[in-house]
């Protein structure tokens, strides 16, 4: 698949088979995340892989949805605001931007490997923080359930609804 084909195939997967994710595939996704660019190359991220059933149950408490429970593993992506670059002119913290880039690297790498993911940001931060024993300066930013889509053809069957280019592009000025 070329890059645009991968982008077209990626979709938010909310149904997974019970097949586990191979160690090789997981390593591939984590390497894709590690290679993501970040502001001033500060890499203010931490990726917590959760596979064991007892720990998965704790993660599920933070986002109690039936579909979420079907994923065989979760990658919880956290940001370290003490390590993130801040823009000098206004102090803007780029941690969330850096995390978003890394998360999407994982999503696209998963698509290439015929795995499914779904950005989950609507979790109970306090429950998740306690489940992962996070220190105060580490923020849980996203949870990515990862697994084999059910059915395998789910993303091919999911229509992409996107605005046309002429609606979102401006040339030279707004």
Domain range list for the chain = 11-146
- pLDDT value for 1: 80
> In the structure, what pLDDT confidence band is assigned to residue 127 with cuts at 50, 70 and 90?
very high
Q: Model pTM greater than 0.85?
A: yes
Q: How far apart are the C-alpha atoms of 78 and 161, rounded to whole Å?
A: 29
131 HSE (CA, 13 A, CB side): 25
- The conformation of residue 148, written as its DSSP 8-state character, comes to -
Fold designation for 11-146:
NADH Oxidase (3.40.109)
Looking up tokens 């195939």, which residue turns up?
9
Q: What is the mean pLDDT of residues 44-57?
A: 97
Q: What is the mean pLDDT of residues 17-32?
A: 97
> In the structure, what pLDDT confidence band is assigned to residue 157 with cuts at 50, 70 and 90?
confident
> In the structure, what pLDDT confidence band is assigned to residue 160 with cuts at 50, 70 and 90?
confident
Q: Are strands 73-80 and 45-50 parallel, antiparallel or unpaired?
A: antiparallel
């Amino acid at each position: 698949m070329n890059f645009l084909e991968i982008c077209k195939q990626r979709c938010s997967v909310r149904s997974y088979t019970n097949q586990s994710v191979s160690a090789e595939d997981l390593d591939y996704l984590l390497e894709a995340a590690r290679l993501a660019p970040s502001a001033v190359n500060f890499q203010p991220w931490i990726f917590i892989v959760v596979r064991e059933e007892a720990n998965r149950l704790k993660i599920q408490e933070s986002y109690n949805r039936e579909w979420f429970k079907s994923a065989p593993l979760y990658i919880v992506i956290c940001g370290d605001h003490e390590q993130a670059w801040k823009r000098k002119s206004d102090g803007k913290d780029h941690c969330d931007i850096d995390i978003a880039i890394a998360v999407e690297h994982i999503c696209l790498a998963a698509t290439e490997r015929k795995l499914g993911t779904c950005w989950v940001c609507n979790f109970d931060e306090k429950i998740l923080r306690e489940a992962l024993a996070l220190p105060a300066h580490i923020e849980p930013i996203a949870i990515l359930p990862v697994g084999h889509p059910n059915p395998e053809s789910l993303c091919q069957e999911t229509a992409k609804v996107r605005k046309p280019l002429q609606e979102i592009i401006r040339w030279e000025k707004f």
